[in-house]
Structure 1
Amino acid sequence: MSLIHFDRVSIDFGAKPVLDAVNLTINKGEKLALIGRNGEGKSTLLKIMAGEIPVDDGQVIKQDGIKVAMMKQSAADESESTVRQFLLHALGQVGHALEQYESTTDPQQLARHQQVIDEHHGWDLLQQIEVVTSRLKLEPDAVIRSLSGGVRRRINLAAALVQQPDVLLLDEPTNHLDIESILWLQDLVARLHCAVVFVTHDRAFLRHIANGIIELDRGHIHQYVCGYDKYLERREARLAAEVKEWQRLDKKLSQEEIWVRQGIKARRTRSESRVRDLVALREERKNRRQQSGTTQASINVAEASGKKVIVTHNLGFQYGDQTIVQGLTCKIMRGDKVGIIGPNGVGKTTLVRLLLGELEPDSGSVKLGTGLEVAYFDQLKQAINDEDTVQNNLQLGTDFVEINGKSRHVISYLQDFLFSAEKIRGPASVLSGGERSRLLLARLFARPANVIVMDEPTNDLDMETLDLIQDLLFEFQGTLILISHDRDFIDHVCTQTIVFENPVDGQYQVNEYVGGYEDYLRQRKTPVEAKPEKKTVATEKPKKISDKKLSFNEKYELEQLPEKIDALESAITTLSNQVCEPDFYSQDAATIKQVTTELAQMEQDLQAAYARWDELEAKT
């Protein structure tokens, strides 16, 4: 059933139309990912669906009585309201009735409010507010003006979710959410019965939810009834066919231009319809919108650091009453790509500052290697001066930058990051979130570095730019420390993870794992897990089994486990040493992946063997 239909809709804000006579249909129950480059007009398209901006031409036809709710990118307004008040206001008439019902004592007013609440299922909506605020980690009584921009974005998400609409529009809903909240939202959206149109850079989120794709490309909409991976195949086929058709038309235009310029004899026999076709070909060629160039970049690599980059021993740090880390011993070597994972507010950025020596630990030690050149990608994008031009935000006192020994003009370099000449000379204050991220990436990669620190770099970027960053960071010969909630990005980039997990009375364990996010899930520790001392397994002979609770096969299995555990530990040591070799990550990607995956599997097998050993021992 069609809920929203676009009939040859057009809207134009400048030289090129954002939408050029497009058709689009949104049906009940569809989960549609809206995909397009930064600046293509994805947010504009969502606002048209929500009825927030009018179109220049065509029609937007909505089914009578449907409710459309949209999560906005900008932080929540109503700064004097509490979070709960803001969410009640988002419910409209029934929200007003709920708010008044709680504050009035007049019996007649209570009866009127009660009627409105009952008619609109207000008590269910009130319960929905409680669930959403809890799962998005919002404090209901907090005053909005006291909250950060990231928390305000979560409030906007909550306001859209609590309305229980027929069509839900989400603009980058996973920004500023930790993985636990993303997983909850992912499951919630997948189970919703309403239609959902969403913009996201999080491919794991997208793959889990989308059953259709809306691609916005150069003013046109291409709709695909399939998941993301199949869409990528179909999109490549469409673009290849487009190039082939353009080549055919260009060849025909060239032939017709030669024909029309022939002599008098040709002019006498010239077909007027053929001339009209030539004029049409010229017009089509003039109006053709090529895709803008792909983002190109390379990382300006400093001279190699020492083999050991960061070594911690029993690291401990407390911020006020909150223990950030306790007893962390780890070693980060040259070439390691370390992902740091954990809930919002747990202290991930503080841990990075400890590792870089910017904070003094309360206990233990941090030793930094030699020759470190650190470049930092700032989550809050505070490094951008909004009062200055984009060009001056990049310049280091000169019109040129030197990238790996080659001199580049600042404007040419910024054009590699898809900035037009007008944007480069204009103020940074007008940049979108994605453009601000690209500018910071341009600054980051222009500075010589052998250690790169990135704090939530994926927010607001389009997928093509994400692919570029993934490839660059994977090939980077230096060391990477990455804070991210993007599971797919961590899996593609990181060789090890440091995870805040298993909280007890508000204090988190900080554990280290080999591999990316999926590898961590396979290996992760549980709070009750405990390993026996290694020396017990390695040196003592197997105990004689006499308890009748063990079967013959279980007795044999228990006797063989010490040997199996020794073999696994020996193999893990060998592979771990191999991974720590300075030239390990200079090998091809397939070899690196094979070794790290094998190491992760062995770690998992070892934990399973220990657990089985405990289980059988408990019976004796």
Structure 2
Amino acid sequence: MIRLDNISKQNGHQILFIEASMGIQKGEKVGLVGPNGAGKTTLFRMIAGENRPDDGQVSIDPGTTIGYFSQDVGEMKGQTAVAAVMDGVGPVSALAAEMAELEAAMVDPDRMDEMEALIERYGEVQHRFEELDGYALEARAREVLAGLSFSQERMDGDVGALSGGWKMRVALARILLMRPSAMLLDEPSNHLDLESLIWLEDFLKNYEGALLMTSHDRAFMNRIVSKIVEIDGGTLTTYSGNYDFYEQQRALSEEQRQAQFERQQAMLAKEIKFIERFKARASHAAQVQSRVKKLDKIERVEPPRRRQAVQFEFKSPPRSGDDVASFKGVHKSYGSQSIYTGLDFMVRRKERWCILGANGAGKSTLLKLAAGAITPDQGSVTIGSSVKMGYFAQHAMDLLDGDDTVFESLEESFPTAGQGVLRNLAGCFGFSGDDVEKPCRVLSGGEKARLVMAKMLFDPPNFLVLDEPTNHLDMATKEMLVAALAEFEGTMLFVSHDRHFLAKLSNRVLELTPEGIHQYNGGYTEYVARTGQEAPGLHPGH
């Protein structure tokens, strides 16, 4: 249904694709993987027709409709979120907007004299709206928005007043409502909470069209796709299976290539040694000549390209007292909205609490209270003795100085650490070679998050408070972070929508629900087994 044949594409000096090919069949669900900057977004844009290959061709079956969701949302304002979602579907939304205008005009006392014309026009518009099944469409738009955690007020409020993350959801809802025959989703899981993520997973599993998507969320990818296309070094390689299967296959083929490379190197060394040894002897001249010719003809095996995944080693943090954080009778409200009324909660040394709860349940509020970023209206939050806190907040990225380079930023934080040590630290967090010379203002969200994380973990705290630490991170950095935090000897309190992260790192669960607050001994995996749900507020078996 969609085919790329021998495409080549260059971006400035960077070669993204060299005679690369791939195909997507009807109804296939495909994951696109590759390091940052490998050309995933360019590939999407070529399929969507926004970009052309320099060579080769992109062919799409006639009659195929394509819905493309990208991180670049564009301008949205002046209408409700529901209207903005219906907009993506075409004429229906224009009719809905006109109906709303006419309804307002019909109750406007200044326009009483136009009443007949208004009513007549309203009848025509409404008739056409019904023909296009507009009422069902609005209901479906609301259903999709509800799935993405929109409240009724948010659906009917001005889309222009929403934050970037919520606008992303509106853009995503547009594509889902369109039900195109093929969907291209670039990082749809990025700005979603756990509930929305699980809803989207369900939606995409039941979607009958073709799907090509990228995601840094391993569990999400594993459950949806049955084929992986990898971009690496300008080529496209297709693996049948989910992400876990792809990883195993990739590791296997790397091992084989490494072994093949080593065998050939040993053989070449032997031949060269023979030539060197006998090249001066007339008696061996013919043999030497034939071996030189043979060596010229051998096709050299390339060593496998190693993906740089450097492990981060924790220094041991100083030991804290046994009581790390204590919440007693905590009340907290925002305006008329009460978040906590009399919360009692205790964090002890070496506990790793993950906090689960639907949007607005107060997850970030709890972290802010623990970190001292806000104070309770009543009650107390006490941090124990010898506790050294590291707090990773969503706004931490805004505090970086845009004029500093990555290296200068690290140097400012750790003036006594040597160059080599800091370069090593930068390397662990994905800044290799010249990347350390980039000024902070040009860094992507993921790069900023990695820099903030590097600063926080280098001189390690013994109490980590992390609000969505994996939000912008790619798969490789996430793996590194999970591996590093698994070795961490201190205490953790965190919010994350990444199930791989939750399962690997938590040993306690605090669940915030409208009915009350529940504490579970045992981590996220045990929580799922005990409650039969992956997130609070979802119905078991959903």
TM-score w.r.t. length of structure 1: 0.74
Q: Which residue in the other structure is 1:71 paired with?
A: 69
- Shift of the alpha carbon at 1:151? 1.0
Q: Which residue in the other structure is 2:525 paired with?
A: 518
- Shift of the alpha carbon at 1:40? 2.7
One of 468, 472, 482 as aligned partner of 1:456: 468
CA distance in 2, matches of 1:113, 1:221: 50
CA distance in 1, matches of 2:317, 2:288: 70
Partner letter of residue 401 of structure 1? Answer: A
CA distance in 2, matches of 1:132, 1:86: 13
State whether structure 2 residue 35 is matched by structure 1 residue 37: yes
Instruction: Give CA-to-partner distance per residue, 1:492-531, whole Å, 9 cap, x none.
Output: 1001011111x2xxxx5222111222322444599xxxxx
Partner letter of residue 437 of structure 2? Answer: R
Instruction: Give CA-to-partner distance per residue, 1:108-163, whole Å, 9 cap, x none.
Output: 89869966985x76555443322212222342343333221211221221122121
Q: Which residue in the other structure is 2:401 paired with?
A: 385
Distance 1:112 1:268, change over 3 A: farther
3-state SS, counterpart of residue 382 of structure 1: helix
Q: Which residue in the other structure is 2:223 paired with?
A: 208
CA contact (8 A) 2:275 2:292 kept: no
- Shift of the alpha carbon at 1:21? 1.8
CA contact (8 A) 1:94 1:117 kept: no
3-state SS, counterpart of residue 196 of structure 1: strand
Coordinate RMSD, CA, aligned: 3.2
State whether structure 2 residue 160 is matched by structure 1 residue 140: no
CA contact (8 A) 1:167 1:196 kept: yes
CA contact (8 A) 1:33 1:197 kept: yes
Q: Which residue in the other structure is 2:81 paired with?
A: 83
Partner letter of residue 225 of structure 1? Answer: S
Partner letter of residue 410 of structure 2? Answer: L
Bigger shift: 345-354 or 517-526? 517-526
CA contact (8 A) 2:317 2:489 kept: no
Q: Which residue in the other structure is 1:600 paired with?
A: none
CA distance in 1, matches of 2:290, 2:410: 57
CA distance in 1, matches of 2:341, 2:99: 48
- Shift of the alpha carbon at 1:450? 0.8
- Shift of the alpha carbon at 1:193? 0.3
3-state SS, counterpart of residue 140 of structure 1: helix
CA distance in 2, matches of 1:141, 1:15: 47
Partner letter of residue 526 of structure 2? Answer: D
Q: Which residue in the other structure is 1:438 paired with?
A: 450
Give ranges in structure 2 of 5+ residues lacking alignment. 103-117, 534-542
CA distance in 2, matches of 1:7, 1:259: 46
- Shift of the alpha carbon at 1:271? 8.7
Q: Which residue in the other structure is 1:51 paired with?
A: 49
CA contact (8 A) 1:400 1:409 kept: no
CA contact (8 A) 1:88 1:99 kept: no
One of 190, 208, 211 as aligned partner of 2:205: 190
Distance 1:332 1:260, change over 3 A: same
CA contact (8 A) 2:462 2:491 kept: yes
Partner letter of residue 438 of structure 2? Answer: G
Partner letter of residue 346 of structure 1? Answer: A
CA distance in 2, matches of 1:445, 1:165: 45
Q: Which residue in the other structure is 1:6 paired with?
A: 4
3-state SS, counterpart of residue 21 of structure 2: strand
State whether structure 2 residue 439 is matched by structure 1 residue 427: yes
Partner letter of residue 401 of structure 2? Answer: N
The equivalences for 1:391-410 within 5 A come to 391-396=407-412, 401=417, 408-410=420-422
Instruction: Give CA-to-partner distance per residue, 1:359-414, whole Å, 9 cap, x none.
Output: 33233332221011111222242233333322222222666637xxxx84423321
CA distance in 1, matches of 2:431, 2:402: 16
- Shift of the alpha carbon at 1:425? 0.6
Q: Which residue in the other structure is 1:540 paired with?
A: none
State whether structure 2 residue 328 is matched by structure 1 residue 313: yes
- Shift of the alpha carbon at 1:25? 0.9
Q: Using CA pairs under 8 Å that are at least 6 residues apart, name the structure with larger relative contact order, 1 or 2.
A: 2
Partner letter of residue 321 of structure 2? Answer: G
CA distance in 2, matches of 1:460, 1:315: 32
CA distance in 2, matches of 1:273, 1:48: 45
CA distance in 2, matches of 1:73, 1:320: 33
State whether structure 2 residue 430 is matched by structure 1 residue 418: yes
- Shift of the alpha carbon at 1:72? 1.1
Q: Which residue in the other structure is 2:297 paired with?
A: 277
TM-score w.r.t. length of structure 2: 0.84
CA distance in 2, matches of 1:345, 1:269: 79
User: What is the percentage of aligned positions where both structures have the same residue?
Assistant: 30
CA distance in 1, matches of 2:238, 2:126: 44
One of 493, 516, 533 as aligned partner of 1:509: 516
- Shift of the alpha carbon at 1:424? 1.1
Partner letter of residue 512 of structure 1? Answer: Q
The equivalences for 1:365-380 within 5 A come to 365-380=380-395
Q: Which residue in the other structure is 2:352 paired with?
A: 337
Instruction: Give CA-to-partner distance per residue, 1:248-284, whole Å, 9 cap, x none.
Output: 4444555676688756946995599757636x64xx7
The equivalences for 1:109-120 within 5 A come to 118=131
Q: Which residue in the other structure is 2:106 paired with?
A: none
Instruction: Give CA-to-partner distance per residue, 1:536-594, whole Å, 9 cap, x none.
Output: xxxxxxxxxxxxxxxxxxxxxxxxxxxxxxxxxxxxxxxxxxxxxxxxxxxxxxxxxxx
